[in-house]
Structure 1
């Protein structure tokens, strides 16, 4: 009988790929976790954007009615934690800007912002808290 030679370190019938499936499974699992984390960060960013939109809109509406303090309180309550709220009144226009970090620093450089604009209602002064006389338009002439 002839002697059968084997390569050193190989078992008969082995392919030499022992453990390759384990490594591939570990890499696939890590990739899956990364994709899931990015998807959750995206959902959090969209949620933060919607909250910023709601906060800006509500603050602009309340400020246009002459309730600037309530507008600021509502914006801070509705906006994500740590959001910056800016309310500006120029003439008879109100602008509100809300900016926030959507995922608490996990995605550096990604901020969400929302802006809302409104016109002061009649009787509300550009200096909020001061009521001005309502604008009364002349009555239309009677048609004979």
Structure 2
């Protein structure tokens, strides 16, 4: 997994880094309030939390909303398990550039879009990447965990 430091959604003075998740699987969930398929994934995230305890699976939800307040307002209404961060630069910003692109033949890469989920193993290796509204999060988790 690429190194990163991202600002916590609720506490902009706090940074989240990969070392926060050492020894656990990490489900990196890139989402936004304007992404209807992202919101539709929330029940799957809740089920994942029910199946896999935080000691085994960490969930890091990264909002790509321009406004932090829009993301926090949605989270007040809907329970999205895990830790929350904010990628202020959007999909093309520093964090988005590392995680929202999939390898391709072209030098520029392709943006995978949202929803965008990456499963990282306890050793820090990317195990699976799923994107789009047809992505089956629970199936991906059951294959690897």
Instruction: Please state which structure has a larger fraction of its residues in helix.
Output: 1
TM-score strictly above 0.5:
no
* TM-score for the superposition, normalised by structure 1: 0.24
* TM-score for the superposition, normalised by structure 2: 0.24
Instruction: Please state which structure has a larger fraction of its residues in strand.
Output: 2
Q: Which has the higher contact order (CA 8 A, sep 6+)?
A: 2
